[in-house]
Structure 1
Amino acid sequence: MTISEHLQELHGLPVFDFPDAGSKAELPSVPSVAWRIAVDSYDSEEEWEEAFARFLDAVDTTQVRALIVGPWSEAFDSGPEPIVSALVEARERLPLLRALFVGDITYEECEISWINQGLVTPLLDTYPELLEFGVRGGQSLAFPAVRHEKLRSLTIEAGGLDEAVVRGVAASDLPALEHLDLWLGTSWYGANADVSDLEPILAGTRLPSLTYLALRNSEIQDEIAVAAAGAPVVARLETLDLSMGTLGDEGAEALLNGQPLSHLKKLDLHHHFISKPMADRLAGALGVDGVEVDLSEDESAEGREDRYTAVAE
Structure 2
Amino acid sequence: MTVGHYLKEFHGLPVFHFPDTDTPAELPDAAAVAWRISAPTYCDSDDEQWEVLFERFLKSVDAGRVRALVVGGWDEAYETSSAGIVTALMAANNRLTALEAVFLGDMTGEDCEISWIVQSDVTPLLAAYPRLREFGVRGGTDLAFPPVRHTGLETLVVETGGLPAEVVRGIAGSDLPALENLELWLGTDEYGGDSTADDLAPLLSGSAFPALRSLGLCNSAIQDAVAEAVAGAPVVARLERLGLSMGVLTDEGAAALLDGQPLTHLGRLDLSHHYLSEAMRKRVLDALAPYGVVVDLGDAQETDDEGDGRVWRYVAVAE
Fold conserved (TM > 0.5)?
yes
- Indicate if the aligned counterparts of 2:20 and 2:48 stay in contact, CA closer than 8 A: no
Say if 2:273 is the partner of 1:271: yes
CA distance in 1, matches of 2:14, 2:311: 41
2:47 matches 1:41: no
Alpha-carbon distance in 1 for matches of 2:160, 2:80: 17
Shift of 1:125: 0.7
Point out 4+ residue stretches in structure 1 off by more than 6 angstroms: none
User: TM-score, structure 2 length as denominator?
Assistant: 0.96
**CA pair 225-118 structure 1, distance change in 2 beyond 3 A:** same
User: Is the 8 Å Cα contact of residues 180 and 214 (structure 2) preserved in structure 1?
Assistant: yes
Q: CA, structure 1 residues 219+165, in 2 after alignment: closer, same or farther (shift >3 Å)?
A: same
Cα 1:215–1:23 shift into 2, 3 Å: same
Deviation at 1:26, TM superposition (A): 2.5
Correspondence 1:203-222 to 2 at 5 A? 203-222=205-224
Q: Distance in 2 between matches of 1:5 and 1:307?
A: 24
Structure 2 letter corresponding to 1:103:
G
CA-atom RMSD in angstroms: 1.0
Q: In 1, distance between residues paired with 2:177 and 2:183?
A: 16
Residue-by-residue CA offset, 1:245-296 (whole Å, 9 max, x unaligned):
0000111101111100000001100000011101101111101111011111
Unaligned runs of 5+ in 2: none
Map 1:102-117 to 2 at 5 A: 102-117=104-119
Match of 2:9 in 1: 9
Hey, what's the Cα distance between the residues in 1 that align with 2:311 and 2:77? Answer: 31
Identify the residue that residue 83 of structure 1 maps to in structure 2: 85
Deviations 1:139-186 (A, max 9, x none): 000000000001000000000011100000000000000000000000
* Residue matched to 1:57: 59
1:312 to 298, 315, 318: 318
Preserved CA contact (<8 Å) 2:272 2:296: yes
- Indicate yes or no: 2:27 matched with 1:21: no
Return the letter of the residue paired with 2:43. D
TM-score, reference length from structure 1: 0.98
Q: Does residue 201 in structure 1 map to residue 203 in structure 2?
A: yes
Contact 1:214/1:242 (8 A) holds in 2: yes
Instruction: Work out the CA distance in 2 between the residues paired with 1:17 and 1:102.
Output: 14
Question: Aligned to 2:141, what secondary structure does the other structure show?
Answer: coil
**Share of identical aligned residues, percent?**
57
Structure-2 change in CA distance of 1:25 and 1:2 (3 Å): farther
AA of the residue aligned to 1:79? S
Q: Deviations over 1:182-216 (max 9, x none)?
A: 00000111110001100001000010000000001
Map 1:77-156 onto structure 2 (within 5 A).
Answer: 77-156=79-158
Q: Which moved more, 1:4-13 or 1:175-184?
A: 4-13
Contact 2:82/2:118, CA 8 A, preserved across alignment: yes
2:179 maps to which of 153, 177, 180: 177
**Secondary structure, aligned partner of 2:115:** helix
Q: For 1:193, give the aligned amino acid.
A: S
The alpha carbon displacement at 1:304 in A equals 7.8
How far apart, CA to CA, are the structure 2 residues paired with 1:157 and 1:242? 14
Cα distance in 1 for partners of 2:264, 2:122 equals 37
Shift of 1:312: 0.3
Which is worse superposed, 110-119 or 297-306? 297-306
Query: Runs of 5+ in structure 1 lacking a partner?
Result: none
Which letter maps to 2:22? G
Q: Which moved more, 1:36-45 or 1:167-176?
A: 36-45
| Residue equivalent to 1:238 | 240
CA drift of 1:129 comes to 0.5
Q: Would you say the 8 A contact 2:23–2:60 is kept in 1?
A: no
| Gap change, CA 1:70 and 1:198, over 3 Å in 2 | same
Q: Is the 8 A contact 2:41 2:112 kept in 1?
A: yes
Larger helix percent: 1
Supply the distance in 2 between the matched residues of 1:222 and 1:305 (Cα, whole angstroms). Answer: 15
Whole-Å separation in 2 of the counterparts to 1:169 and 1:147: 10
**2:71 alignment counterpart:** 69
Shift of 1:305: 4.3
Aligned length: 313
Partner Cα separation in structure 2 for residue 23 and residue 127 of structure 1: 27
